Amino acid sequence: MSRAHGDPLGTAQLRSRPEDFRVEEELGFTPSGAGEHLMLRVRKRGWTTEAVARRLAEALGIPRGRVSFAGLKDRHAETEQWLSAHLPGAAAPLAAGEELADGVRVVAATRNARKLRRGALAGDRFTLRLRAVAAPPAAVDARLAAIARRGVPNYFGAQRFGRGGRNLEQARAWLLEGQPVRGRTVRGLLLSAVRAELFNRVLAARVADGTWERLLPGDRAGLDGRGSHFAVEAVDEALRRRTARGEIHPTGPLAGTGGEGPGGAPAALEAAILAEEPELTAALEHRGVRADRRALRLMPRGLIWRWPASGELELRFTLTSGAYATEVVAELLEAREPEQGAEAP
């Protein structure tokens, strides 16, 4: 993977303990306090989001399909997130402070008129503790200052591809060789892995030529933290200033059918890279996956850091929904993690 800020400055250990990787979900709205849907904010440790959703459905005596969440959170971490359960007319059977299971505690409970939908997030707040840091602190400080100012490439992290890239291998076997895959959720993960791989290739090319943080004529510019984007016919000074402030970013393809693509040099680059995998891109279109865009640049907002002990570095920042904290770390250090699987965000 091409790195924008240079080679890693050294090595470190990440996720030595679950509390070393803390995530707090930020909703993109405020629950109304009334309605048919019970909203629970849970703190979990050692659980996948899907497992918590199943456990909540069992506790409430309702089908799993009546429980929703906005995004997946890592199992090997300490995380807080919201779930909703369609529970019309019933008294709330769970309240703040109660344990849903060992390692899962309710920290807030309210009501809302609508269920929680995927992607209904403003972002996630991260607190990461890196241990056994083997890198010059002054160089780390300087690199972090550059990251805070310029951002990092918005790659999909390794979590999206499964342990050892297994999701992508399984997707190829399913889409190209006809091997059966059961379950809508699993099929969705495999399609996402394909799109993530193609996007990462485009982004790596833009990092290599130095345009991942710079708008080009023909680009589609994405608004920071939003799904909307617009065509860039010419790059004027106003657009340069907005890009420098991190308000807008160049975008890359989430392959599929339809959608609005770029023009000019960005279009030629994307077409050439997608042409490397014609069968996979055709499979995405055949299955009706809608094309979309994703920002090439990621801004870690409110980035602060400290050295709490010798060889230990703590990072705090907020990312937009769908971004990977591990990609911020990857622009700084080679972070080694225990052998374990992880969920996509």
Strand order through the sheet with 248-254: 229-231, 220-223, 248-254, 292-295
Backbone angle region of 282, left / alpha / beta, with phi > 0 → left and psi within -120 to 50 → alpha:
alpha
Is position 224 annotated as part of the catalytic site? no
- Which residues are paired to 85 by β-bridges? 38, 67
Backbone angle region of 245, left / alpha / beta, with phi > 0 → left and psi within -120 to 50 → alpha:
alpha
Q: What is the residue whose two structure tokens read 């250090």?
A: 333
Task: Choose, from 20, 74, 219, 224, the residue flagged as catalytic.
Answer: 74
Q: How far apart are CA 329 and CA 12, in angstroms?
A: 10
Q: How far apart are CA 123 and CA 321, in angstroms?
A: 4
Q: Where does 183-264 show beta strands of DSSP type E?
A: 220-223, 229-231, 248-254
Under a CB-based contact definition with an 8 Å cutoff, are residues 292 and 120 in contact?
no
SS3 letters for 20-38? HEEEEEEECCCCCCCCCEE
Q: Mind telling me the catalytic residues?
A: 74
